[in-house]
């Protein structure tokens, strides 16, 4: 059963995970809002609730592997994998490119679910899907907690989000004056490993 949007927003507010300000997102876009899913997922009851929604959606998709992009998707991906009872791995950036490390692999023909915390442009998920295709595995779905794309994100696998929310974003060369007047913060994880 899909959780009501207002209930999810209340969870984000209660955990101080819905931030207001001027943020540079992982995609490079600027936004007046940021979803810091890690602040929600630190609470097991919310992690269980949100990951459970994703796992329930793919329960009958015969998923054999869950993969997430580091860092944001790891916690939710691991919980979804645990709930589905399947192997769970993550990919991470090495010199700016998403790669499998730590001895992780995707097996040929494996049915793979990609899990992310927040999707804005879908760039990280597309990189993960590229790894899945390169391994000749089968992407069966993409699941996330928050789809910020306003319906613009689409993938060559069944896409499901616990909550959709359109949040204004602006390219770096088109930031409006009202947002440019606010100090910039870069809360994303892409710059952790270059």
pLDDT classification of 62: cutoffs 50, 70, 90? very high
Give the domains, in start order, of the chain with CATH numbers: 38-171 (3.40.50.2020)
Q: Is omega for the bond preceding 17 within 30 degrees of 0, making it cis? A: no
* Residue 35: closest CA among 171, 170, 163: 163
What's the mean pLDDT when you consider all of the chain?
91
pLDDT classification of 110: cutoffs 50, 70, 90? very high
According to the model, what pLDDT value does residue 50 have?
95
According to the model, what pLDDT value does residue 193 have?
45
According to the model, what pLDDT value does residue 194 have?
42
Q: For 172-187, what is each residue's pLDDT tens digit?
A: 999 999 999 999 988 7
Q: For 36-57, what is each residue's pLDDT tens digit?
A: 889 999 999 999 999 999 999 9
- From start to end of 120-187, where are the E strands? 138-147, 158-164, 184-185
Q: How confident is the model over 16-23, as a mean pLDDT?
A: 90
According to the model, what pLDDT value does residue 152 have?
82
Q: How confident is the model over 119-146, as a mean pLDDT?
A: 95
């Amino acid at each position: 059963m899909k959780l009501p949007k207002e209930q999810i927003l209340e969870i984000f507010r209660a955990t101080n995970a819905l931030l207001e300000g001027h943020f540079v997102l992982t995609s490079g876009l600027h936004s007046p809002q940021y979803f810091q899913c890690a602040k929600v997922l630190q609470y097991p009851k919310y992690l269980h609730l949100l990951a459970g929604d994703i796992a329930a959606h793919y329960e009958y998709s015969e998923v054999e592997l869950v993969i997430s992009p580091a860092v944001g998707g790891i916690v939710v991906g691991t919980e979804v994998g645990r709930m589905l009872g399947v192997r769970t791995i993550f990919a991470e950036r090495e010199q700016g490119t998403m790669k499998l490390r730590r001895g992780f692999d995707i097996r040929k023909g494996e049915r793979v679910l990609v899990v992310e915390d927040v999707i804005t442009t879908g760039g990280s998920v597309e990189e993960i899907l590229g790894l899945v295709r390169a391994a000749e595995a089968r992407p069966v779905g993409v699941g996330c907690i928050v789809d910020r794309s306003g319906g613009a994100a689409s993938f060559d696998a069944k896409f499901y989000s616990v909550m959709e929310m359109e949040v204004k974003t602006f390219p770096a060369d088109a930031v409006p004056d009202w947002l440019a007047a606010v100090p910039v913060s870069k809360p994303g994880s892409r710059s952790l490993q270059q």
